[in-house]
Amino acid sequence: MSITSLSELFQTEPISWGCRGDPYLWQEMSEVLATQPLPSSEAQLAGTLEAIFERLVGLPITAQESSVFVERHAHGGMSSGHISLKFWCETALPLLLARYHAALIDGDSR
């Protein structure tokens, strides 16, 4: 996996989501990060992802709420527009960090 920008970490979507708004936030984060180069460390990446999440959602990824409603991601359905903080904290962020780590290893082996 050879990647050059942060948005490439988002190219393959997770198999499942927490709430109906999560896929829309995933896409929005990918678009926001489209021009951002890869940071030099995993800690920098985590900080960047957490900052963008908080800017787009209005709460830190570590907030105690189980979900938060983001109107621009409401596209119909009972839980439409809801973002699962648990999904982002426990699944999405670790997945993106693992992809970053894999990309670094792949880049070092070339």
Handedness of CA 66, 6, 47, 93 (dihedral sign): positive
82 is written with which tokens? 């809801």
Does any domain span residue 41?
A: yes
Does any domain span residue 68?
A: yes
Does any domain span residue 101?
A: yes
Q: Structural domain of residue 69, as residue ranges? A: 6-109
At residue 109, the pLDDT reads: 44
Task: Give the number of domains in the chain.
Answer: 1
Global pTM reads 0.88
At residue 90, the pLDDT reads: 95
Q: 44: number of CA atoms within 13 Å, CB side?
A: 8
Does any domain span residue 80?
A: yes
Please list the rounded mean pLDDT of every run of 10 residues in the chain (110 residues): 80 93 95 90 95 95 91 80 93 96 69
